[in-house]
């Protein structure tokens, strides 16, 4: 198998920011006596880019595209360009308590493995969160730190979206890391209500009408080549997600598209290339 399955929350579609959570709802407005309500650091519902990691006093720049996210159901998800890391996460004031993290088990390059190892260590226990403008610092009890920045949402249209995750209900599967570069699935939406890209084996183009948070995909047209089974399996999953109406959200440089039957894809904004201009049916 090229991938390992890991159940993650698909509630990433809910763009909610954790509001101030006092000891009682609506309390903390002053009043007479009583405990002072401490608001939780608003880390939920924000796409955080991991800038650097400092472990045992040594600072290391995080691999490009590294990110961390806290969803409204108390789950944290991290990625450094290879495996998916997930852990329960409870936010109380300026403290975040992680449960035991789990990770997919794909082989990665040395720099990525180092970053993932540090993340797994940090996402296992309690950290202190300090927010300063759009910068977030997480500090472990041992003094190791993660420096993060809030990501601004990328534009849906005109952005080249590289598909990294295949969704099926509550299950997320990483796209095989060893796909040929010209067959890594990707999408580009046009301002004219179209979409083109590669679904894992074949290039395609079709209609993609956007209204609010819904994209309605028309039947795709494209090439009809046969590829090795891993690539065909990826293609089938991608095309299943791009079939009819689907909801979408963008957090920072991450796009999630989910159809009514729970099939979906997660994609990351990547630098534009010229290959899209050569994709046609």
Report whether pLDDT(46) > 90. Answer: no
Secondary structure letter of residue 245 according to DSSP: E
Output the pLDDT for position 121: 86
Least confident of 6-10, 145-149, 277-281: 6-10
Give every CB contact of residue 33 below 8 A, 6+ residues apart in sequence. Answer: none
Rounded mean pLDDT of 98-125?
Answer: 89
Report whether pLDDT(54) > 60. Answer: yes
**pLDDT above 70 as % of the chain:** 83
Mean pLDDT of the chain: 82
**Per-residue pLDDT tens digits for 18-40:** 333 333 333 333 334 444 455 78
**Per-residue pLDDT tens digits for 117-126:** 888 888 889 9
**Per-residue pLDDT tens digits for 152-173:** 888 999 999 999 999 998 888 8
Question: Considering the entire predicted model, what is its pTM?
Answer: 0.54
**Per-residue pLDDT tens digits for 70-86:** 888 889 999 888 888 99
Local structure of 155: helix, strand or coil: coil
Identify the helix (H) or strand (E) that includes residue 240: helix 229-241
Rounded mean pLDDT of 98-114?
Answer: 90
Using the Cα atoms of residue 197, residue 198, residue 199 and residue 204 in order, give the sign of their dihedral. positive
Rounded mean pLDDT of 31-58?
Answer: 75
CA dist 268 → 41, 65, 184 (Å) = 26, 8, 12
Report whether pLDDT(235) > 80. Answer: yes
């Amino acid at each position: 198998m090229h991938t390992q399955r890991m159940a993650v929350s698909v509630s990433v579609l809910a763009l909610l920011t954790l509001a101030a959570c006092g000891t009682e709802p609506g309390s903390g407005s002053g009043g007479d006596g009583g405990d002072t309500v401490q608001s939780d650091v608003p880390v939920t519902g924000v796409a955080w880019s991991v800038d650097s990691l400092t472990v045992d006093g040594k600072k290391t720049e995080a691999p490009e595209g590294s990110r961390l996210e806290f969803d409204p159901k108390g789950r944290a998800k991290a990625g450094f360009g290879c495996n998916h890391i997930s852990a329960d996460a409870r936010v109380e004031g300026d403290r975040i308590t992680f449960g035991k993290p789990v990770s997919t088990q794909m082989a990665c390059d040395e720099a990525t493995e180092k970053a993932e190892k540090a993340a797994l260590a940090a996402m296992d226990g309690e950290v202190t969160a300090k927010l300063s403008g759009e910068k977030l610092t997480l500090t472990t009890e041992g003094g190791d730190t993660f420096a993060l920045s809030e990501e601004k949402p990328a534009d849906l249209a005109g952005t080249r979206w590289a598909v990294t995750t295949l969704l099926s209900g509550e299950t997320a599967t990483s796209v095989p890391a060893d796909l040929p570069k010209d067959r890594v699935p990707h999408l580009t939406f046009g301002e004219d209500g179209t979409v083109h890209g590669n679904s894992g084996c074949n290039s395609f183009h079709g209609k993609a009408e956007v209204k609010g948070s819904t994209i309605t995909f028309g039947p795709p047209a494209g090439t009809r080549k046969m590829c090795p089974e891993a690539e065909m399996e990826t293609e089938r999953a991608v095309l299943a997600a791009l079939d009819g109406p689907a909801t979408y959200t963008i957090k920072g440089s991450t796009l999630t598209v989910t159809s009514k039957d729970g099939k979906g894809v997660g994609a990351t904004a990547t630098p534009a290339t010229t290959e899209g201009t050569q994709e046609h049916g």
